[in-house]
Amino acid sequence: MNIALFGGTFDPIHRGHLVVARAAAAKFQLKQVWFVPADIPPHKQKSPVTAFDHRYAMVTLGVASEKEFIPSLLEAPDLAIPESKRKPSYSIETVRRVKKTLGRSDHLYFLIGMDAFREIATWYKAEELLTECDFIVAARPGYSLADVASALPEKLRPQASVTKLFRKEAMDGTLVLRGATLHMLPETHEDISATQIRTAVDRGGALKRLLPDLVAEYIKKEGLYRKTRTRD
């Protein structure tokens, strides 16, 4: 069975995430996509993030009608540890934990948008993470998939000749390198971000195009993303 881990902050989950996960599921015959909100996202520690419970609740509501999408507690907070002492959730640890539970015929992918992949070289144990499982890199408006090879940690970066060849192939297909296998998902063009949604909520803007209805209702009910409550 093909399974993908789709990690993120999901503050909140939005239609962009769902479009990416659906496109990946169709193209790579994924039977399960696990949506994994991070308790402490390592790359978003500068700005405050909404409490894990709310983000997980929204992920659950957002994927409720999708048979293959599973809300995951893999990176939930360890409540035995005081909040101030908790460590960020590192993908390498999550992937390794998941792999221990998989069967021989299972194949694990790591699903990621191009904006996040651009920073992959700065991730904790990036080289090891890239060798642990195949990556599916999704296009995102404003970020070119052509930069996928140059975003790799230096040791894994292919020669310019390989990158050139890849560029000619319209950013589709698979880049197999020593130490990393990257599958491209150029089909997604959803210009939606969680940042845009938080702003829209605060300004009382329309949310229907951006969010699953149940998530929009939850945000309203809990009063999330109002300047006075959670965000600046």
**H helices then E strands: how many in the chain?**
8, 7
- Report the nearest approach of ligand ATP to the CB of residue 105 (Å): 27
3, 111 Cβ separation under 8 angstroms: no
Which residue, among 228, 226, 231, 219, has the nearest Cα to 203 in the 3D structure? 226
CB nearer ligand ATP, residue 156 or residue 197: 197
219, 58 Cβ separation under 8 angstroms: yes
CB nearer ligand ATP, residue 51 or residue 162: 51
**Dihedral sign from CA coordinates of 3, 153, 159, 118:** positive
**Dihedral sign from CA coordinates of 188, 94, 71, 58:** negative
Residue of the chain from 18, 192, 207, 215 that contacts ligand ATP (CB under 6 A): 192
In terms of residues, how long is the chain? 232
Rounded distance between C-alpha atoms, residue 86 and residue 40, angstroms: 8
Pick the stretch among 70-78, 83-91, 108-116, 219-227 that binds ligand ATP (CB under 6 A).
108-116
193 binds ligand ATP (CB under 6 A): yes
- Report the nearest approach of ligand ATP to the CB of residue 184 (Å): 12
112 binds ligand ATP (CB under 6 A): yes
Tell me whether residue 189 is exposed, middle or buried, using C-beta atoms within 10 angstroms of its C-beta: 0 to 12, 13 to 18, 19 or more. exposed
59 binds ligand ATP (CB under 6 A): no
CB nearer ligand ATP, residue 11 or residue 134: 11
89 binds ligand ATP (CB under 6 A): no
CB nearer ligand ATP, residue 125 or residue 162: 125
- The one-character DSSP state at 140 is B
Over the window 17 to 56, marking each residue x when it contacts ligand ATP by CB under 6 A and - when it does not, the resulting string is x--x------------------------------------
The residues of the shown chain that bind ligand ATP, judged by CB under 6 A, are 8-11, 16-17, 20, 112-113, 115-116, 138, 140, 188, 190, 192-195
